[in-house]
Amino acid sequence: MAERKWHVIIADINAAQGPEIVRQLEEKGAEALFVPIDLGSPDGPKEMIRRSIERFGRLDVLVNCAAHAPVEAFMEMTAEAWERTLHVNIRGVALATAVAAEQMKKQKGGRIINITSPASRMALPNYAAYAASKAAVDSVTRAAAVELARFNIQVNSVAPGMMDTPLQLRTEEVFARLEECSDLESFRAQRTARIPAGRRTDCSEVAQAVVWLAADAPSYIVAERLNISGGLDRD
């Protein structure tokens, strides 16, 4: 998005990374704003949208990307992990979508892209809260898409395959531990071998899919779940 010289707002709970993210986006040609916010709080999503509109006066695209991803042994799962996951990954997405839609309706259009995961359709006992939350993201995507299509707001989702982000690295470390595998590298290699394309993806490849849906895709694409997972997830 920054390469297209769009105005970009990043909202994240990790405030420490704000200045560096803004620097990187500006280097690519964007006007950028970092909003430090907890999207799992009741008012966080609304505040994110309010501050975005306050800064740039309009809102054309919302990408719901933030996620909480605890890994817990199935029989040791905790209420805290469930609560946090549901608040950030589902309630946050739903509320942000609703508030963004108000503004987009006034503007007579907009695009909303929710980041889901192949996990939403897999049986992952040690990742139950995360996987269930992503199944709920798919549900919220469908509901929002149907409600908002009449306002020329297209809601779709992107399901990325394995990207080696901090979230993925943390997740695999705990997966390996819970599966009693001491060799993390071979554990990761086995997981990569399950991907039909034979490799993992990365953020820039997934960003291309998001930008396509946000800007280039025909407006008749509504309620679509775009897999970008090298064949790991398929319809």
Ligand X SMILES: NC(=O)c1ccc[n+]([C@@H]2O[C@H](COP(=O)([O-])OP(=O)(O)OC[C@H]3O[C@@H](n4cnc5c(N)ncnc54)[C@H](O)[C@@H]3O)[C@@H](O)[C@H]2O)c1
| Residue 155 to residue 114: CA distance in whole angstroms | 8
Q: Is 218 in the site for ligand X (CB under 6 A)?
A: no
CA dihedral 175, 229, 9, 111 (to 10 degrees): -130
Q: Please tell me the number of Cα atoms within 13 Å of 129 on its side-chain side.
A: 24
Q: Is 166 in the site for ligand X (CB under 6 A)?
A: yes
Find the catalytic residue in 34, 127, 130, 175. 130
Give the interface segment with ligand X, choosing from 6-14, 71-79, 98-106, 215-223 (CB under 6 A): 6-14
Q: Is 167 in the site for ligand X (CB under 6 A)?
A: yes
Q: Which is nearer to ligand X, 109 or 169 (CB)?
A: 169
Work out the burial of residue 18: count CB atoms within 10 Å of its CB; fewer than 13 is exposed, 13-18 middle, 19 or more buried: middle
| Residue 83: strand, helix, or coil | helix
Q: Is 66 in the site for ligand X (CB under 6 A)?
A: yes
Instruction: Tell me which residues in 39-58 interact with ligand X (CB under 6 A).
Output: 39-40
Q: Is 176 in the site for ligand X (CB under 6 A)?
A: no
Q: Are 45 and 58 in contact, with CB atoms under 8 Å apart?
A: no
Residue 137's identity, in one-letter code, is V
Q: Is 38 in the site for ligand X (CB under 6 A)?
A: yes
Is 130 one of the catalytic residues?
A: yes
List contacts with ligand X (CB under 6 A): 12-14, 37-40, 65-68, 88, 115, 117, 160, 162-163, 165-168
